[in-house]
Chains A and B, each alone.
Chain A
């Protein structure tokens, strides 16, 4: 998705929140509009490859055609609105500092750890990757106590493995610990 290509935020101007409109054009929104247009166009293209059955007057195409076309239309509207300076209200929350510049390094670290989990879970098993996942995320988010984090992560991942295995009869990937767990 188009998350990486954010414009450099401007922390120097004016009071934050509410007055987003004053900060000019949000260029990343053009990227979003392009993405939506591509998605809509692909949806339409994909629908053309479908076969329509005999007894089916509507068929599997109509709904995707409809959705794809509206999507393209919305993309155009978004691009127009963007050029007029329309901005989204960024979501706020308990732990969000609206004044701070977005910290994309942390996000990339987290994404990297999640990717590692995807790649390694079958081979290493959840008991190991889960622990790495927890400790790695805590490290990315600024925790300084690596050893403690790994221990907490290990307790959580091994615990959840056994919870699903014996409690719910769902064997999560044991990986290289097969036979030991």
Chain B
């Protein structure tokens, strides 16, 4: 109950006309950028970060909240109307959503996605309100060894559970960790990997890294493979749902929320798994099984709710532990760090007003999303027709602008280009982005905790294992690393070099 009154306080603080305007602006910009093909929510947040440069933290966070939900919803709109999801979390939405759109039911698909996102986001945020403070209360007592173990668990989960190739996942992670090394060592003040450049010694701004890898990398990659024949876009009218649509949607919304939130809240990363599970569940439970694969509304409602609930869930580890588990959450963390705020258990105690205002603005942003996007859907659909040369020139323009505004240094533009080329390379070689960006952000934090833990034990490795929680987490990490390969071996199905090696061995 204490949480509710604090949330009420947050709502009061957020409910000023100026703040509402920022929230609305955030939702509008977020959806606008998110709808544009090729731009996922993470890139939307990264591109829009510089806009909040001169703002107060509170207002900036309120705007982020809007951008966050707006960007997510924009991505779903694109996948329903274009059938090519911009990010893995929308894959499931695209399957049934685009079929619905082709059957002339685009309006209903967009409506069930919007209302489902709203329901899931609201319930999800309320769950954050209850879970995050409790988790932070426990987390305050967590020592450096357990903290280090937790971060290790997060990167291992994200790297080895998601994605098709573990090797490539770890290449991404360690590239990110290497980037995170650049700059002054936090405790001795010596520059590392600075190539004698004082501008590098001052640490690379995460905005530059994120915008380079997400925006510039994507634009260059698309430029190399731009399709000459544009995709067909399904025309759309005002979103609405009939009686039948409502009765078929509300249960999938709630089930999707229930599946999505826990996946976001435990640092297991990603909305892929819950959206997939939700899709399978709805297909099993539906009475209209024959419609699945041809545009079943349950197949849009469930995964879309799961996606948003999991996005809300990621705020639990982000706020309570300072642990981001998705690309978008990673950039939100970077944004908060940019304002000199380090999310984590201390934040809840030190700056409760800020946290509660942020949570309240998530609720507001979510509501505004529904209010704005139902009437604006036809406008968003028209955005999809933006001529591609303008679209990608615009991305390059705003990416350069964003990187330049951080310090007004041409050198940052050079770094931007460098990270853009890196972004191109990882897309070419199939190296996942999420472990990379997570490595950049979490690497320095991991080092701090590692050194803190080992300083207490005077350098002895036992310092890493002297808390029960830490040992428990290491056991979990070991299981995560060992169990799937063993299972794969037992079932005898794998498509990696390991499989080939087995075959060669059995041949000989």
Which residues on B sit within 8 Å (CB–CB) of A77? 167
CB within 8 Å for A170 and B388 given contacts A58-B451, A63-B447, A134-B393: no
Asked if A103 and B223 make an inter-chain contact with CB atoms under 8 angstroms apart, the answer reads: yes
Q: What is the total of A-B residue contacts with beta carbons within 8 Å?
A: 257
Q: Does A158 contact B (CB under 8 A)?
A: no
Q: How far is the CB of A2 from chain B (nearest CB, A)?
A: 6
* CA gap between A169 and B55 in the complex, in Å: 10
**Best-surrounded residue of A67, A84, A111, A173 (most CB of chain B within 10 A):** A67
Query: Is A97 an interface position by the 8 A CB rule?
Result: yes
Q: Does B227 contact A (CB under 8 A)?
A: yes
Given contacts A141-B223, A143-B389, contact A134 B405 (CB under 8 A): no
Question: A180 an interface residue at 8 Å Cβ cutoff?
Answer: no
Q: Is the CB of B408 within 8 A of A137?
A: no
Asked if A78 contacts B171 (CB within 8 A), the reply is: yes
Interface size on A, residues (CB 8 A): 93
Known: A103-B226, A134-B394. A87 touches B389 (CB 8 A): no
Given A46-B192, A114-B396, A170-B408, CB of A104 within 8 Å of CB of B224? yes
Q: Which residue of A lies closest to B177 (CB)?
A: A67
Do B86 and A94 have beta carbons less than 8 Å apart? yes
Of all chain A residues, which has the CB nearest B412? A118
A residues less than 8 Å from B429 (CB atoms): 28-29, 32, 88
Asked if A121 contacts B222 (CB within 8 A), the reply is: no
- Least distance between A127 CB and chain B CB atoms (Å): 11
Q: Is B197 an interface residue (CB 8 A)?
A: no
Partner of A1, one of B164, B228, B421: B421
Whether, in the assembled complex, B474 has its beta carbon less than 8 Å from a beta carbon of chain A, the answer is: no
B178 touches A39 (CB 8 A): yes
Q: A93-B38, A95-B226, A134-B393 are in contact. Are A107 and B220 (CB under 8 A)?
A: yes
Known interface pairs A60-B188, A103-B224, A141-B223. Does A134 touch B54 (Cβ–Cβ under 8 Å)?
A: no
Within 8 Å CB of A50, what residues of B? Answer: 185, 188, 190, 192
Label chain B's interface by main secondary structure. helix
Encode B464-508 as 1/0 by CB contact (under 8 A) with A: 000000000000000000000000000000011100110000000
User: Is there a chain A Cβ closer than 8 Å to B318's Cβ?
Assistant: no
Q: Which one of B53, B181, B223, B397 lies within 8 Å of A134 (CB-CB)?
A: B397
Chain B, 136-178, CB within 8 A of any chain A CB: 164-165, 167-168, 170-171, 174-175, 177-178
Find out whether the CB atom of B223 lies under 8 angstroms from the CB atom of A170. no
Quick check: A46 and B193 within 8 Å, CB to CB? yes
Question: B82: CB under 8 A from chain A?
Answer: yes
B455 touches A51 (CB 8 A): no
A84 to B443, CA, bound (A): 32
Q: List 5 A-B residue pairs with CB atoms under 8 Å apart, sorted by A's residue number.
A: A58-B459, A60-B188, A60-B190, A94-B84, A114-B420
Which residues does B use to contact A, with CB under 8 Å? 37-38, 51, 53-55, 78, 82, 84, 86, 164-165, 167-168, 170-171, 174-175, 177-178, 181, 185, 187-188, 190, 192-193, 216, 218-228, 231, 387-394, 396-397, 400-401, 404-405, 408, 410, 413-414, 416-418, 420-422, 424-425, 427-431, 443, 446-447, 450-451, 454-455, 458-459, 495-497, 500-501
Known: A32-B425, A58-B450, A121-B410. 5 other contacts (CB 8 A): A21-B495, A67-B177, A80-B497, A97-B228, A118-B413
6 closest A-B pairs (Cβ-Cβ)? Answer: A88-B430, A57-B459, A168-B54, A97-B227, A137-B393, A94-B37
